[in-house]
Amino acid sequence: MSGGALYDLMTFFGGLSLLSFGGGNAVIPEIQRHVVLVMSWLNEAEFVALYAISQSAPGPSSLFVAQIGWRVAGWPGAVAATLGMYLPSSVLVYLAERSWQRFRGSRWLIRLENGLAPVTIGLIFAGGWIVAQEVGQDWIGWILTGGMAVFVATTKLNPLPLLLIAGIVGALAWG
C-alpha cells in the first residue's frame, strides 16, 4: 500500500462527489469506467457483485466506494475513498442549508416549498418504481413490493419485521 494509492482514491472520489448530480447512482458508470477499465482495481464481475451487495446492505448504497477503497489499499483505502465521496458534497449541502435557513418563513420560500412538495412526492414514486424494476421482478417480487407499499401506507406499524420476512421469502424463492 502506498500514499499514492490513497491520494488517487481521494482525488478520484472527491471529484466525483461534486459531479454526482441526481444522487449516488448517477456516477456508477463513471466509477465503473475508472475502476475497472482505466485503473483495473477490480474486474467486471467483482464490480457487479460488490455493487449488488452494497445496494441492499444497510446504510447508503454509495458506501460501495468503501469496498473499492478497501480492495485498493486496505482499511486506509476504504477511509480515503469514503471521505473523498462524502466530504465535498456535504460541505456544499451544509452551506446551502445555512442560506436556505436564512429565508425560512419568507413568502416566496413558502410558495416554492408548496410547489416542491407534490413534485418531490412524484420523485419518491419514481425512485421506488425504478428500484422495483431493477431488482429483476417476477410475480413474487411484485407481491413483496406491493404488499409492503400497502402496509406502509395504511398502518403506523414498524415495517422492519416485514422487511426481514421479505428477505426470507427471497432466500427461499430465488435461492
Partner 1 sequence: MIDSPSLVLIARSYLKIALSSFGGGLSAWTQQIVVEELRWIDDREFLSGLALCRVLPGPTMVNFAVFLGSRLRGAPGVAAALTGLLVVPFIVSVVLGILYFEYQHIPRLQPTLAGMAAAAAGMTMGMGVKMLMRRQVTVSELICVISAFVLIGVMRVPLVMALLILVPCAVLLTKGEPE
Query: Residues 47, 64, 72, 84: which binds partner 1 (CB under 8 A)?
Result: 64
Residue linked to cell 448517477: 26
Which of 58, 102, 105, 107: binder of partner 1 (CB under 8 A)?
58
Cα torsion for 30, 34, 36, 42, to the nearest 10°? -110
Stretch that binds partner 1, among 1-9, 28-36, 77-85 (CB under 8 A): 77-85
Q: If binding is defined by CB under 8 A, does position 9 make contact with partner 1? A: no
Residues 128-157 that bind partner 1 (CB under 8 A): 128-132, 135-137, 141-142, 144-153, 156
Scanning the structure block, which residue is given the C-alpha cell 475508472? Answer: 34
Is the alpha carbon torsion for 102, 106, 112, 115 positive or negative?
A: positive
Residue type, 175: G
Phi-psi region of 78 (alpha: psi -120 to 50; beta: other; left: phi over 0): alpha
* Burial readout 4-33 (b: 16 or more C-beta within 10 A, e: otherwise): ebbebbbebbbebbeebeeebbebeeebbe
Binding to partner 1 (CB under 8 A) within 20-39 occurs at 20-24
Can you tell me the distance from the alpha carbon of 72 to that of 10, in angstroms, rounded to the nearest whole number? 12
43 is a contact residue toward partner 1 (CB under 8 A): no
When asked if residue 121 is in the footprint of partner 1 (CB under 8 A), the reply is yes
Binding segment for partner 1 (CB under 8 A), chosen from 1-9, 11-19, 28-36, is 11-19
State in angstroms the smallest separation of the CB of 109 from partner 1. Answer: 8
Q: How far is the CB of 44 from partner 1 (least distance, A)?
A: 14
Q: Min. distance of Cβ 6 from partner 1 in angstroms?
A: 15
Instruction: State which residue, 1 or 130, has the beta carbon closest to partner 1.
Output: 130
